[in-house]
Amino acid sequence: MNVIRQNEQNDNTPTTFIVKLFELVNDEKSKDLICWSREQNRPGFVVLESVQLASTVIPRFFKHSNFSSFVRQLNIYGFHKVDHPLGQCFHHPFFKEGHPELLCKIRRQQPKRAEAENAEMYRSLLQRLEDLQKESVSTTNQLQQLNNMLFSLKLRIDEMEEQMQGMTECLYFINQDENRYGQQQKRNPPSTGITWN
């Protein structure tokens, strides 16, 4: 454990989770529940009894007693499950019995799936923004066209109103002339050209 303490003083120090995991796997009191794999083709550590490990040992090293959370943490640090006849075996190329100096090489992995999903979401949002901008330009153009059409329509309506006003005035004067002509006819009836003696 002195090697771990020395490593903690260096810039490349292992994370707390990895240090505690190394201590947990090396803990003599827990060797019936978790231990190093002795098989050459299956390197790593083996969880022999996950339920009891979660309820009695994990809480001594971590702030929980949830085995699923423990496995999730292992996955975050790049550990992989390996088939093993005795239980669940977890392997990492830098997590080796008797080699605490390698622990500083174990780092949290950036979740590639999350990065890919974020990149895809970003591309999707960017595309949607471009679509909205195009729609906005299209809508602005349509509004401008409608505005132009309304302006033209108003000009035509104004023209028609002027024409109707002119026609109304013309009809009024025609009507006035007919009234005057009718009154004149009543006062001076036209002669028929027949004379009566």
- pLDDT tens-digit readout, 125-177: 888 888 888 888 888 889 899 899 989 889 898 898 888 888 888 888 888 87
pLDDT tier at 1, thresholds 50, 70, 90? very low
Which among 11, 71, 14 has a CA at the least distance from the CA of 62?
71
Q: For residue 181, is it within any domain?
A: no
Q: Structural domain of residue 14, as residue ranges?
A: 2-105
Q: For residue 114, is it within any domain?
A: no
Please give the pLDDT value at position 77.
Answer: 93
List the single range of 14-23, 75-84, 173-182 with lowest mean pLDDT. 173-182
List the single range of 28-37, 104-113, 145-154, 162-171 with lowest mean pLDDT. 104-113
Q: For residue 56, is it within any domain?
A: yes
List the single range of 16-25, 76-85, 115-124, 145-154 with lowest mean pLDDT. 115-124
Q: For residue 26, is it within any domain?
A: yes
Q: For residue 70, is it within any domain?
A: yes
User: What is the DSSP code string of 48-79?
Assistant: S-HHHIIIIIHHHHSS---HHHHHHHHHHTT-
Q: What is the pTM of this model?
A: 0.52
Task: Please compute the mean of the pLDDT values over residues 47-72 and round it to a whole number.
Answer: 92
Q: How many domains does the chain have?
A: 1
Helices (H), the chain: 2-9, 16-26, 50-52, 58-61, 67-76, 112-187
Please give the pLDDT value at position 195.
Answer: 59
Q: For residue 40, is it within any domain?
A: yes
- pLDDT tens-digit readout, 86-100: 889 999 999 999 999
**Looking at the predicted structure, is the pLDDT value of residue 64 above 70?**
yes
pLDDT tier at 40, thresholds 50, 70, 90? confident
Please give the pLDDT value at position 85.
Answer: 87
| CATH number, domain with residue 20 | 1.10.10.10
**Looking at the predicted structure, is the pLDDT value of residue 5 above 50?**
no
Provide CB contacts within 8 A for 42, sequence distance 6+.
Answer: 82, 83, 84, 89, 91
Across 14-23, 41-50, 136-145, 169-178, which has the greatest mean pLDDT?
14-23
Q: For residue 196, is it within any domain?
A: no
Q: For residue 173, is it within any domain?
A: no
